[in-house]
A and B are shown apart, each in its own frame.
Chain A
Amino acid sequence: MSRLDVRKTYKLYIGGAFPRSESGRAYPVTDAKGRFLAHAARASRKDVRDAVVAARKAFGGWSGRTPYNRGQILYRIAEMLEGRRAQFVAELRDAGLGKDAAGAEVDAAVDRLVWYAGWADKLAAVGGSANPVSGPFFNFSTPEPTGVVGVVAPDSPLLGLVSVVAPVIVSGNTAVVLASEPAPLPAITFAEVLATSDLPGGVVNLLTGRRAELAPWLASHGDVDALDLAGVAADAVTALEEAAADTLKRVFAPTGDDWADEPGTARMTAFLEVKTVWHSVGV
């Protein structure tokens, strides 16, 4: 008789821990052929708020790390992901990808993390400046993280997720991420990667559930500074941007990305503030 396998319970990832939804809700996730795979937690408004609290709490420490250290941790995430390659290929195949496509997606996700890891200690040089003002002042501008970023992840379950999370956190922001609704399982497994990569708890918080239910709470939350609407359907963007306007959030609207493309810097700079310091010069 063959051994019965031990299944994993997929939960949320908030503040470095893996709680169930406080609502007690879950929804069944099926593979491409409609076969039951597992239940994913169906997060509530309260879970969103808990995740924002965790993200805010983590912001000071994470943004205060040296850029070198943040880069190392992003690289560590890539290492951990590489080590779990087979597991992710299997989960992506469950989500409907062919064998080669699943392998290529995991490879691309690892490479993307490595690419972003190298940005951590270069953003300030590329995005900042020493400004030649007309007076006895040393004047310089440096990019700083915006704060807590709400991310609605796209349905590309791993590469898309990595492509929206890495540019947010590399500069020191913290994130509350709503995972793909039809394919949430790789996101939660990715949270296990994050949890074992020296990434401080709360820097990335991952929620699964109904995006249409959760995204408006993220968009209107007073302690969320910015939004990436990558995974939002075109007809839902306007309402979320309207909700975001009340707290003057920075919003990165969906641009129809092909996640296999070179990412460019737009997603990083969208979640940066430029601070300019004037210091008087004299004896």
Chain B
Amino acid sequence: MDFAYAPAPESRDVVDIRPSYGLFVDGAFTDGHGEPFKTIDPATEEPLAEIASADASDVDRAVAAARAAQEKVWGPMPGRERAKYLFRIARLVQERSRELAVLESIDNGKPIRESRDVDLPLVAAHFFYYAGWADKLEYAGLGPAPRPLGVAAQIIPWNFPLLMLAWKIAPALAGGNTVVLKPAETTPLTALAFADLCRQAELPPGVVNIVTGAGETGALLAAHPGVDKVAFTGSTAVGRSIARTLAGTGRRLTLELGGKAANIVFDDAALDQAVEGVVNGIFFNQGHVCCAGSRLLVQETVADEFLERLRARVSTLRVGDPLDKNTDVGAINSAAQLARIRELADAGEAEGARRWSPACELPSRGFWFAPTIFTGVAQSHRVAREEIFGPVLSVLTFRTPAEAVEKANNTPYGLSAGVWSEKGSRTLWVAQRLRAGVVWANTFNKFDPASPFGGYKESGYGREGGRHGLEAYLHV
């Protein structure tokens, strides 16, 4: 039998991309007053649509709409009614999941297998989960009479556009807040499709407002005196500047920022499982994952064998068309991100680490970066210290559990970590000592609406998901 590769492209017919999109404010699509911009398909560099850009007056309008809706409609509404709107949204996401998955892959470049099997099911699950909290807030153990904060400004990144939207909007709405959300400049389409979905759900106007634009629009929104809370997911540099902007204002802030997670493989780990976990940890979503396992710490006694198996497995990854159902690694989201990955990978070589990539043919158009592994990495190398946000793994070794913990924690970040061992007591010993908000043991990059997510140290503060995620949107 011949198991040679044959493409299995997902149909684009399920999406209908309009030539241009406005802002979604107070329940209607309206023009923006900034300079419109184009969103492109990173796999082909073809323009997809022209997107309105919100200026200060548009942000004002969106915040005013959110305020009015919060005070007159959404805040006073009984929790059980808010819950039903959120359940409706969850159902609509499920009904439109194929369309939204394809749209996400086209605009973001991520493999359809991931948008279809990971992003969209989690989006629906998140709304479903928080829908159930909307009428039970006083039972969340946060305080006897939790109250909404008011209007939340939410700024999300391009790596999981619709999933990050769900993480932000679902708990905010469940708590009785209204939102003004700004999707990333390079991936606005699914947020705008979500706006349409809000209309289908007959969500009252002004409860969800979507303003598109670049960093300036985000800065205007974060600094707006009419919002009560800012939630940001993105780079640590921007997170710092938002924290500075909000200094002294008393406005609430949660930040989910960068990471440089260690994935620790002990010599007693189930090696093939660990190989899968390490591959998933860094090559999932092209490594555009804040919690990516970008530093492999492998115990010296098994390092050679592990790396051999890892290289063999990485050699089977299929890089290419995001809409091909066979694809494992899709397109890099933007030219700017590709340049950043290249710059850091080049620095890795220049600083003396050994670079390896499997032989793989990359498409001639679009933004691509082959899966890359650096060995001989020192903790001082930039590829071991800086967040690359791409499919680049840095390999370090250790001898003792204490050394593994020491190296894993040797970073200003503290978002996530992984531990691979068949010995439960050792796994828990290590998990206790890792200064990271999420620790995956014998798994990696798992997400669930019931599971709190967020960082220690310079990976930000606040949690999203679970009971803890509600606290970010309530006075308790």
Contact = CB atoms under 8 A, between A and B. Distances in A.
Interface of A: 126, 129, 131-135, 137, 139, 141, 146, 225, 237-239, 241-242, 244-248, 250, 253, 273-280
Contact of B456 (A133, A134, A246, A273): A273
B250 interface: yes
7 contacts: A134-B125, A225-B457, A238-B247, A241-B246, A275-B439, A276-B437, A276-B451
Interface in B120-137: 125
B247 A241 contact: yes
Contacts of B460: 248
Interface in B439-476: 439-443, 446, 448, 450-454, 456-458, 460-461, 463, 466-468
A244 B460 CA distance: 12
Contact of B141 (A126, A132, A135, A250): A126
A247 B458 contact: yes
Contacts of A250: 461
B442 A139 contact: no
B240 A278 contact: no
The 4 closest A-B pairs by CB, nearest first: A238-B248, A241-B247, A245-B243, A133-B448
Given A134-B448, A273-B456, A275-B456, 9 more contacts: A238-B247, A238-B248, A239-B247, A248-B243, A273-B437, A274-B454, A278-B439, A278-B441, A279-B441
Chain A binding surface SS class: mixed
Contacts of B442: 279-280
B431 interface: yes
Contacts of A277: 428, 431, 438-441
Interface in B387-446: 424, 427-428, 431, 434, 436-443, 446
Contacts of B424: 279
Nearest to A270: B461
Task: Determine which residue in B248, B427, B439, B467 has the highest number of CB atoms from chain A within 10 A of its CB, and name it.
Answer: B248
Given A126-B141, A241-B247, A250-B461, A280 B443 contact: yes
Contact of B451 (A133, A246, A247): A133
Interface in B238-269: 239-241, 243-244, 246-248, 250, 255, 257
Given A129-B467, A139-B451, A237-B248, A274 B443 contact: no
A258 B182 CA distance: 40
Given A238-B248, A248-B460, A278 B466 contact: no
Contact of A276 (B241, B439, B457): B439
A241 B248 contact: yes
Contact of B441 (A132, A238, A253, A280): A280
Given A248-B236, A278-B446, A129 B466 contact: yes
A58 B248 CA distance: 31
A278 B443 contact: yes
Contacts of A246: 240, 244
B461 A278 contact: no
Task: Determine which residue in A135, A246, A278 has the highest number of CB atoms from chain B within 10 A of its CB, and name it.
Answer: A278
A245 B460 CA distance: 10
B468 A278 contact: no
A275 B448 contact: no
Nearest to B242: A245
Given A274-B468, A278-B440, A278-B441, A248 B446 contact: no
A245 B451 CA distance: 27
Given A276-B437, A280-B441, A131 B451 contact: yes
A135 B466 contact: no
Contact of B443 (A132, A137, A141, A238): A137
Contacts of A129: 452, 466-468
Contact of B468 (A133, A141, A146, A242): A141
Contacts of B457: 225, 248
B255 A141 contact: no
B63 to A, nearest CB: 22
A133 B257 contact: no
A141 B240 contact: no
A225 B460 CA distance: 11
Contacts of B437: 273-276
Contact of B244 (A126, A146, A245, A279): A245
A245 B458 CA distance: 10
Nearest to A140: B451
Nearest to B442: A280
Contacts of B466: 129, 131, 141, 276
A126 B471 CA distance: 14
Contact of B257 (A126, A135, A248): A248
Nearest to A243: B247
B127 to A, nearest CB: 14
Given A237-B248, A248-B240, A280-B443, A274 B452 contact: yes
